[in-house]
Amino acid sequence: MQEPRDAAKEMQQRYRNVFGTDEGRRVLGDILKLGHFAMNIDPNDPILVTEKNFAETIARTAGAFDSIYLELEMIEKE
């Protein structure tokens, strides 16, 4: 049986494979727009908060924020 950490890394690689293409980056950008990324939203609106959190989770899993994390030394360079 696969370790949970290995399974998570494998799934993250799948996200990177999909969203790492030109077409995938366009789709990821659309997901972030639909998810109100970088927009001020009403923190009391559970639907907007959920949409934003979900869009950011997809982007983070796809590696969209890796350069920021590397710059801030939140993750190590591979």
> Which parts of the chain sit beneath pLDDT 50?
none
pLDDT on residue 64? 92
Please tell me the predicted confidence (pLDDT) of residue 73. Answer: 82
Residue 42 lies in a domain: yes
Inside any domain, residue 9: yes
Give the domain range for residue 14: 4-71
Q: What's the whole-model pTM score?
A: 0.82
Domain presence at residue 77: no
pLDDT of residue 55: 97
Q: In the chain, how many domains are there?
A: 1
**Residue 12 class from Cβ within 10 Å (0-12 exposed, 13-18 middle, 19+ buried)?**
middle
